[in-house]
Amino acid sequence: MKSISVLISLLLVCSCGKSFGQASSVLFATSSGETRFSSDTPLENILAVNKKTQVILNTVKNEIAVRMNIREFVFPNKLMQEHFNENYMDSDKFPVATFSGTLDSAPDFSKDGQYDISATGNFTLRGVTKKRTLKGLMKVTGGTISIASEFEVALEDHKIEVPQVVFVKIAQVIKVKANYTLVPYKK
């Protein structure tokens, strides 16, 4: 929960105290979001899953923040996991990846429904920040908010170098899938 507090500070949501419509909460959060990535090549497919992604959404300011510890990605092979953290991501030096942005067009959070969404903000991976617009699908259902998104990350955009020996085994563009179910945040 300490990490959720960090996200709250990041969004400066403490100053927001108003509510709206039928919604009883301004903040929705999870610390068990699922982020997957895959690297698919003719020689090898690599898949990793992080089930401890932290997300917080401020439904009044339409701000969203996502934070994940890089070492929480689990691979089917422990050696792959070790190489990922030590050789490619330098996880000791760059332990987290983040996205902090604003919904481009917010849905009516007081009504259940399914909405196409996008958020524009700063995506930081391996110490390199890029402005990105990420698209997804949001479902508002009975007091919870689910977000599903798919996007790609080019290794060169974040200065992730792949040794020539394994260059043909690792895709230069990684596919990312995110699935988060947010519930009202209680302090």
Amino acid identity at 147: I
Residue 48 counted as domain residue: yes
d(CA 152, CA 175): 5
Residue 63 counted as domain residue: yes
pLDDT at 19: 35
| First-to-final CA distance of the chain | 10
Question: What total number of domains does the chain contain?
Answer: 1
Residue 21 counted as domain residue: no
Residue 126 counted as domain residue: yes
pLDDT in tens, 169-182: 788 999 999 999 99
Per-residue buried b or exposed e for 92-127, using 16+ beta carbons within 10 Å of the residue's own CB: eeeebbbbbbebeebbebeeeeebebebebebbbbe
pLDDT in tens, 63-97: 999 999 999 999 999 998 998 999 889 999 999 99
Cα torsion through 157, 161, 164, 166, rounded to 10: -100
15-19, 69-73, 74-78, 116-120: which range is least confident on average? Answer: 15-19
pLDDT in tens, 147-166: 999 999 999 999 988 766 66
Model pTM?
Answer: 0.84
Q: What is the mean pLDDT of residues 41-54?
A: 91
pLDDT at 161: 85
What percent of the chain clears pLDDT 90, i.e. is strictly above it?
Answer: 70
User: How far from chain centre, in Å, is Cα 76?
Assistant: 21
Residue 72 counted as domain residue: yes
pLDDT at 166: 66
State yes or no: pLDDT of 118 exceeds 80. Answer: yes
Residue 124 counted as domain residue: yes
Residue 58 counted as domain residue: yes
pLDDT at 173: 92
Hey, is 57 helix, strand or coil?
A: strand
Residue 17 counted as domain residue: no
Q: Domain with 152 in it: what CATH number?
A: 2.40.128.110
pLDDT at 165: 66
pLDDT at 43: 81
Q: Is the dihedral of CA 50, 39, 157, 168 positive or negative?
A: positive
pLDDT band at 5 (very low <50, low <70, confident <90, very high): very low
Domain that holds residue 105: 2-12+27-184
Q: What is the mean pLDDT of residues 43-72?
A: 96
Q: What is the mean pLDDT of residues 115-138?
A: 97
Q: Is 142 exposed, middle or buried (0-12, 13-18, 19+ CB in 10 A)?
A: exposed
CB-based contact 182:30 (threshold 8 Å):
yes
